[in-house]
Each structure stands twice: as C-alpha cells, then as structure tokens.
C-alpha cells in the first residue's frame, strides 16, 4: 500500500459508518494481500460491500469476502501487472485492465478463473477501466479512451493524443474525465467524443493518479504530485481551490457518489477522509 497507493471506493448504499468500515477493511486486506501481491493498485468493492476485488503486480486478481477476510477466488490471465479493476452493475463480472495491453473480464459466478472476454486492441498499458451498465470504458497509455459497448457491439476509440492515466465517469454518465500524463485533465463528451474542457494546474507526469468529479458534478478533483489537491470548476475550468493534503504524491482521489465526502490516499502512506 505504501508502495503504490490504494484506492478506496466507498460503497454506494452505505452511510458514513459503512465507509469507515470499508476503509478499515480495505487496509486490513491490503496488508494481508501484500504477501501475495507485490503491490496493491486498486480495490473497488461491490455495491453491497460484501465482496471486494484487488489487483496488483502479481498478475492476478483477488476476489475477497469482506466479512471473513478470505480470498474467495483468484483470477489469473493477465500477463503482467494489473492496473485497475472494477465490478459491473450486477457484481457478476470483474473487469480488469492490465499492463499487458488488455482488458479482461472475469466471471464471478463461475468457478473458472479464466477470463470470459479479452480485449486486446490497446497499443499500450491500460491504466484505468470503468464500467457502466452496458459499456466497458478503458483508458490506455496509448492515448486512447476506448468504449466497448456490449449492447451495440461497437468499440469507440477516442484518441486524446496523450497518455491517459485515469478515467472517471461523471455522475450523469454523459462525460468522461480523463487524466492525462501531460498534467491535464480532459473532459470528453461521451456521445460525440469531443473535448469539452481541459483542466490544468496540477502536476501529473509519472505517477498513476486518480481524478474524479464531485458528487454534484460541479467540480473536478484531482491530486497532484506535490501533495496538493485541486478543485476546478467544471464549466470554466478555473481552479476553485487547491490545498496541501498530503506530504507526497496524491495517488488516489475518490468522491462519495452521494455525499460531500472525499477520500484521498498518498504515497506517504496516509489515507485521509474529507468531509464537509
């Protein structure tokens, strides 16, 4: 955890207490899983917070039971370290993005550890993946944000021209916020693929960092490599606020989907919960 940072996704249905529990649980899991994984990169949990899945440098995904703290399943298939992993809407599929230029989908319901779908149209490491009800969206270092529409059977490639570090979906689902490695966040219109806005001011050049939108979609949040956290106005891209949150690189920023509550984690080994 200290090596690469952790991402904690508060459960959607949980209140304030639940988040803390998940947070604690996540840390516990992280320590435990460190024996197996070289590093733990991403730990999303299911909507009901009953299971979580973690990924890391050991090329496999760990499917955890939160209550017991045991590994239910390990999904193998990636050829190198796994950068990001997400549950789908029904918690039945885990989709992971790896350094092996592929996005793989694993079936949580079957006993098989083999991926049920491999997408390898990327030209470089896939850094981030998000899922909607019908789509898999993944951002890659090759500068593309690819949307795989399962319902339509289409792959839409938005080439941003800069390595995509992190992608994040707006709460209304119409926009993608892509954090690029040229210290710029880009807001894309999903339907047309056009660039709506660029947000600059922070530094993001070499770390895998996260960005997100606030619960009201009014602001854009991202960490910075100098330990700052930046808030931009969504519309006019002005820096609304920036403050020093951590002593080192802020690796992950996660906003509560409903409340004004934010989690940040840093390379310095701290996870901070921000509340109004």
Partner 1 sequence: MDEGDEDYVVYGTPIEREEETSARKRRAIADAGQLRALPPWKQEVRDEEGRRRFHGAFTGGFSAGYYNTAGSKEGWTPQTFTSSRKNRADVKQQSIYNFLDEDDIKDMGGRALETSMQFDTFGFTAAELARKEAEKEQEKRPSAIPGPVPDEIVRPAANSIGIKLLMKMGWRQGRSIKDTHADSLYESRREARKAFLAFSRDKDGPELAEIESSRSESEKYPERSDDIFGGTKSTPVYVLNPKQDLHGLGYDPFKHAPEFRDRKRSRESRDKDRGNNKTGKYAPGFGIGALEELDIEDEDIYASGFDFEQMEVEEVEPTKMIGDSWHKLVDRKRGSMLSFKVASNSDYVLERFRPPVIPADFESRHKFPTTLESTNKFPELPPPEVPPPEDNNLRLLIEGSAAMVARCGKSIEDLYKEKSKTNQLFLFLSGGEGHNYYERKLWEQKQKRGDLGRQNNTKSMKSSDEKMNAENRGKVLGERPLDRSSKASSLSVDVKEVIHLQSNLGDTFIKPVGLSESLKPFKYDPAKQERFEQFLREKYHGGLRAAQPFITNIMSETDRARERLDFEAAAEAIEKGTWSKEKETDPLSILKDLPFINDQRFVSSTEVEKHGVSKDEQKVIHPKREEFEWRPSPILCKRFDLIDPFMGKLPPVQRPRSRMDSLIFMTETIKSSKSEEAIASTRDSILLSHSESKETEKQLITQETDAEPIAADVQRPVDLYKAIFSDDSDDDDADEGNSGHSTDPVKTNEGANMTLNRLVAGDFLESLGKELGLEVPTDKPGPPDKPPNSILVEAASKGDINSSSVHEKLTSQHEEFDRPMEEKHKDNISKSADNVVTNLSINQNEESKPHSRHQRSRSRTPDSDSSDDYRDKKRKTHSRRRRSRSPSTDSSSDRHRSKRNRSKATHRKRGTTDTDSSSDHLYRDRSKSEGKSRKRSRHHKHRRKDGHKNR
Q: Which of residues 244-273 bind partner 1 (CB under 8 A)?
A: none
Q: Is 111 in the site for partner 1 (CB under 8 A)?
A: no
Give the closest residue to 48 by CA, choosing from 7, 4, 77, 87: 87
In the complex, least distance from residue 273 CB atom to partner 1, rounded to whole angstroms:
28
Q: Is 148 in the site for partner 1 (CB under 8 A)?
A: yes
In the complex, least distance from residue 253 CB atom to partner 1, rounded to whole angstroms:
21
Q: Is 151 in the site for partner 1 (CB under 8 A)?
A: yes
Q: Is 90 in the site for partner 1 (CB under 8 A)?
A: yes
Identity of the residue, 217 or 226, whose beta carbon is nearer to partner 1 in the bound complex: 217
Only one of the segments 35-43, 148-156, 223-231, 244-252 lies at the binding site for partner 1 (rule: CB under 8 A); that segment is: 148-156
Report how far residue 136's alpha carbon sits from residue 133's, in angstroms, rounded to the nearest whole number. 8
State both tokens at 72. 């239910």
Reduced 3-state DSSP string for 134-189: CEEEEEECCCEEEEEECCCCEEEEEECCCCEEEEEECCCCCEEEEEECCCEEEEEE
Cα dihedral 194, 199, 200, 206, rounded to 10, equals -70
**Distance of CA 261 to CAs 7, 46, 238, Å?**
15, 19, 21
Q: Which of residues 19-78 bind partner 1 (CB under 8 A)?
A: none
Letter string b/e over residues 141-152, b meaning 16 or more CB atoms within 10 A of that residue's CB:
bbbbbbbbeeee
Identity of the residue, 100 or 210, whose beta carbon is nearer to partner 1 in the bound complex: 100
Only one of the segments 13-21, 37-45, 60-68, 144-152 lies at the binding site for partner 1 (rule: CB under 8 A); that segment is: 144-152
When computed from its CA atoms, the radius of gyration of the chain, rounded to whole angstroms, is 17
Q: Which of residues 91-110 bind partner 1 (CB under 8 A)?
A: 92-93, 100, 105, 107, 109
Q: Which of residues 178-217 bind partner 1 (CB under 8 A)?
A: 186, 188-189, 191-197, 217
Q: Is 160 in the site for partner 1 (CB under 8 A)?
A: yes
Q: Please list the residues that pair with 250 across neighbouring strands.
A: 266
Only one of the segments 42-50, 157-165, 221-229, 251-259 lies at the binding site for partner 1 (rule: CB under 8 A); that segment is: 157-165
Q: Is 165 in the site for partner 1 (CB under 8 A)?
A: no
State both tokens at 178. 């892509």
Alpha helices in the chain (DSSP H): 16-33
Q: Is 141 in the site for partner 1 (CB under 8 A)?
A: no
Identity of the residue, 69 or 79, whose beta carbon is nearer to partner 1 in the bound complex: 79
Report how far residue 100's alpha carbon sits from residue 83's, in angstroms, rounded to the nearest whole number. 10
In the complex, least distance from residue 274 CB atom to partner 1, rounded to whole angstroms:
24
**Which residues form the interface with partner 1 (CB under 8 A)?**
79, 88-90, 92-93, 100, 105, 107, 109, 114, 116-117, 119-121, 133-134, 143, 145, 148-162, 172, 174-175, 186, 188-189, 191-197, 217, 234-235
């Amino acid at each position: 955890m200290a090596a690469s940072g952790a991402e904690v996704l508060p459960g959607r249905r949980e209140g304030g207490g639940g988040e803390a529990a998940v947070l604690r649980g996540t840390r516990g899991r992280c320590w435990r899983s460190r024996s197996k994984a070289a590093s733990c990169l991403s730990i999303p949990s299911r909507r009901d917070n009953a299971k979580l899945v973690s990924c890391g440098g050991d090329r496999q995904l760990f499917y955890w039971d939160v209550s017991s703290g045991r590994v239910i399943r390990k999904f193998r298939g990636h050829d190198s370290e796994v950068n990001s992993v997400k549950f789908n809407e029904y918690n039945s599929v885990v989709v992971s993005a790896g350094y092996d230029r592929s996005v793989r989908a694993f079936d949580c319901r079957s006993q098989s550890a083999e991926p049920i779908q491999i997408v390898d149209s990327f030209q470089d490491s896939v850094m981030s993946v998000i899922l909607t009800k019908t789509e898999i969206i993944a951002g890659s270092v090759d500068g593309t944000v690819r949307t795989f529409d399962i319902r339509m059977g289409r792959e839409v490639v938005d080439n941003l021209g800069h390595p995509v570090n992190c992608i994040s979906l707006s709460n209304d689902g119409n926009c993608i916020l892509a954090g690029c490695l040229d210290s710029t966040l880009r807001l894309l219109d999903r339907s047309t693929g056009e660039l709506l806005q660029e947000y600059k001011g922070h530094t993001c050049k070499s770390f895998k960092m996260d960005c997100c939108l606030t619960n009201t979609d009014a602001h854009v949040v991202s960490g910075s490599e100098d330990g700052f956290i930046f808030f931009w106005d969504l519309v006019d891209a002005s820096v609304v606020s920036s403050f020093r949150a951590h002593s080192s690189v802020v690796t992950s920023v996660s906003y509560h989907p409903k409340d004004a509550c934010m989690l940040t984690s840093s390379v310095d080994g701290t996870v901070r919960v921000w509340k109004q």
